[in-house]
Structure 1
């Protein structure tokens, strides 16, 4: 087995201001490959990228060097691309950063201490590198490691390169029959598995999913594989509603979603308050939540869930405030609400009184935990989840700008970049 690394900054997850990963300091087995330039997609500013070579990351004794074949574009990539940062962190101060964190490829070299992998292995890339030493890592919650290094965040290079180095134990093997465009979406499937864990999804439960983008659709696929009794979807775009309705189960051949609804923007005008409440202390958020509650009451009647008072589990996968309000409104008393989606802003209006009165468990999620990649790969291998139909376009690395703009336009579900295509 590969040894645990001791110097994570030397792997592919490197600080962007480091220069100690040059091509001149590689093991002999890497130098013998005579690799072409490590062409990469660097985010240099808001909606601005540069396609150019960067130094080849140094192969460590406990690591593998991967020829990256495919990378998916994630919603968090789009936050970074459209606003120049994510989670309050800006790319400006850290300098140009290689984008991407959903990737798979071929092992082309292994470190001197690695016996678990050989050149030619097909692997997925786990993009988060925990320290394995902090209190959270020691209690099994490596996803919230206090010093985690993560691909494509401000200051840390991502996977939109031709080559990427990482610890061998963070490169799980995948069956060679899985197409690269599908393998490039294993990371979001691992997120879907973690969503199932965090929302405590069990068989015969009812689930509402807000946002029918890739994560929302994958969440539905995982819920279906877990034998959820009823899955309801919501989105504000008709095209995504239509796609969700056509997303079929590989197990039954029937639609995964039982119902999918198009949501209109909520009216949050305080002038409406006179018809909704008997006191003067009403905020726009109060009015919006009352409207959300009314809409969800109609949905529950249509879906036959009114007698249950709501759904067992809510997954908010859009990051939109309106979806959060609708999500709390449709969650039954004692249910679990999981916030997955990220917003461009750090704060939103949230119905705390309803949350308290219903005694909801409101949870957050940070990426994935240790067993999620193996579970995702096995689910894909057993054919219980279909990722191929979610991929609606592919682009060469040289056209990464076009790929990002296509995602921003909102007319695709999942776009894959082929890292070796120029």
Structure 2
């Protein structure tokens, strides 16, 4: 952050209003107040942020006061948010790619461009990445945000702001397998299914424990065909958390509660494979676990075919969960973690939006002004919405 008197002359000439922001000050505690205008660097752009989506990782921070083992208490009040888009209002003297008036998305992960991972093309796992809205790094829930110009990809001006504010999760896309399962029918699961459909996946299956999300997934239509994107969506019951450590099925007593939960998950997935006609295939080619819940991880491994790919996208509130390692080994699964996105993801997401092959607008179920950011976060916590958008300029 800079200060209002520490700006290039052209920024000062804009006579901007206070940079009203949403700061997380403690667990489930938000303050709406102005902070200094971020400094426009020579290679940067200053953006009037128009819309920000609320992500699951934002909710981890809001509900528990931290994320990934890092607490906001030590770093002090931090501006939240990392899904955002807006209008360029000023450019640094070294910038030739942008001009004021450009509509842009904000890539929230700012890599160093110097470490071994950046130099090998894996900027998403930069060793010193600065990521918006995590402890120590202000996010995008402000009226104004500054960033390097190359991290502000241009958007077609035809894209509505609420949709533009949802583009970051679309950048978490995956390439299409023949058959895919989305574990969790929240925003990431729905968007992943939409991308798989755009890439002509043969069969797309989803499941969730929340009836309203299952119903929404069943009604989520393809802009290409007008038909449901999911071939099948199933409502599952939560796996029992309190179970006996001995069962006749195993023939021995060396069985953990996690073992029994996985056995139950396998039975559930056998029913789904029969219902979807995939039993003879032995499972699906690819699983995208999009909730971070232990139950869905167990179900995801259970439905993945031998030699398949399991992608862990969802984040849990805790850092460790039970995972069926023997099944992973016996099936020779390729288990991958996904850290945000690589250089091609935002351009691909923007291109898909521009071609109209993915529908984000129907996922947006609520909009709130920045002044009511706490209400927006509480609405997401209540679990009755799919995608909630905050309108940054409405203070």
For the criterion TM > 0.5, the same-fold answer is: yes
1:253 matched to 2:226? The reply is: yes
1:341 aligned residue: 314
1:40 aligned residue: 21
1:8 aligned residue: none
Question: Can you list the C-alpha shifts for 1:287-346, whole angstroms capped at 9, x where unaligned?
Answer: 000000011001100111101010000010001101111111000000000111111111
2:364 aligned residue: 391
Contact 2:245 / 2:254 at 8 angstroms: preserved in 1? no
Contact 1:208 / 1:314 at 8 angstroms: preserved in 2? yes
1:24 Cα offset (Å): 0.6
1:98 matched to 2:79? The reply is: yes
Distance in 2 between residues matched to 1:25 and 1:274, nearest whole Å:
69
Matches within 5 A, 1:262-281: 262-271=235-244, 273-281=246-254
Distance in 2 between residues matched to 1:150 and 1:127, nearest whole Å:
6
**Selected match of 1:170 from 146, 151, 158:** 151
Contact 1:292 / 1:325 at 8 angstroms: preserved in 2? yes
**Selected match of 1:303 from 260, 273, 276:** 276
Distance in 2 between residues matched to 1:317 and 1:274, nearest whole Å:
31
Distance in 2 between residues matched to 1:243 and 1:421, nearest whole Å:
29
Gaps of 5+ in 2: none
Q: CA RMSD in A?
A: 0.9
2:258 aligned residue: 285
1:271 Cα offset (Å): 2.5
TM-score in terms of structure 1 length = 0.93
1:356 matched to 2:329? The reply is: yes
Contact 1:225 / 1:385 at 8 angstroms: preserved in 2? yes
**Selected match of 1:379 from 320, 335, 352:** 352
SS of residue in 2 equivalent to 1:275: coil
Question: Can you list the C-alpha shifts for 1:151-187, whole angstroms capped at 9, x where unaligned?
Answer: 0001100000000000011111101011000000111
Matches within 5 A, 1:13-32: 21-32=2-13
Contact 2:245 / 2:253 at 8 angstroms: preserved in 1? no
Distance in 1 between residues matched to 2:245 and 2:254, nearest whole Å:
13
Question: Can you list the C-alpha shifts for 1:259-295, whole angstroms capped at 9, x where unaligned?
Answer: 1011111125443732321011000001000000011
Contact 1:270 / 1:282 at 8 angstroms: preserved in 2? no
Distance in 2 between residues matched to 1:265 and 1:64, nearest whole Å:
47
Question: When the two structures are aligned, how many residues end up with a matched partner?
Answer: 395
**Selected match of 1:222 from 171, 195, 202:** 195
2:388 aligned residue: 415
Distance in 2 between residues matched to 1:223 and 1:158, nearest whole Å:
30
Distance in 1 between residues matched to 2:298 and 2:95, nearest whole Å:
50
Distance in 2 between residues matched to 1:269 and 1:159, nearest whole Å:
41
1:129 matched to 2:110? The reply is: yes
**Selected match of 1:115 from 61, 77, 96:** 96
Deviating above 6 A after TM superposition, structure 1's stretches of 4 or more consecutive aligned residues are none
Gaps of 5+ in 1: 1-13, 15-20
**Selected match of 1:88 from 62, 69, 72:** 69
Contact 1:338 / 1:363 at 8 angstroms: preserved in 2? yes
SS of residue in 2 equivalent to 1:297: helix
Contact 1:276 / 1:290 at 8 angstroms: preserved in 2? no
SS of residue in 1 equivalent to 2:221: coil
1:157 aligned residue: 138
SS of residue in 2 equivalent to 1:57: coil
TM-score in terms of structure 2 length = 0.99
SS of residue in 2 equivalent to 1:93: helix
Change (3 A) 1:62 1:332: same
Matches within 5 A, 1:172-251: 172-191=153-172, 193=173, 196-197=174-175, 201-202=176-177, 205-251=178-224
2:298 aligned residue: 325
Contact 2:27 / 2:64 at 8 angstroms: preserved in 1? yes
Distance in 1 between residues matched to 2:308 and 2:266, nearest whole Å:
16
Distance in 2 between residues matched to 1:178 and 1:284, nearest whole Å:
49
1:244 Cα offset (Å): 0.2
Contact 1:107 / 1:118 at 8 angstroms: preserved in 2? yes
Distance in 2 between residues matched to 1:388 and 1:123, nearest whole Å:
18
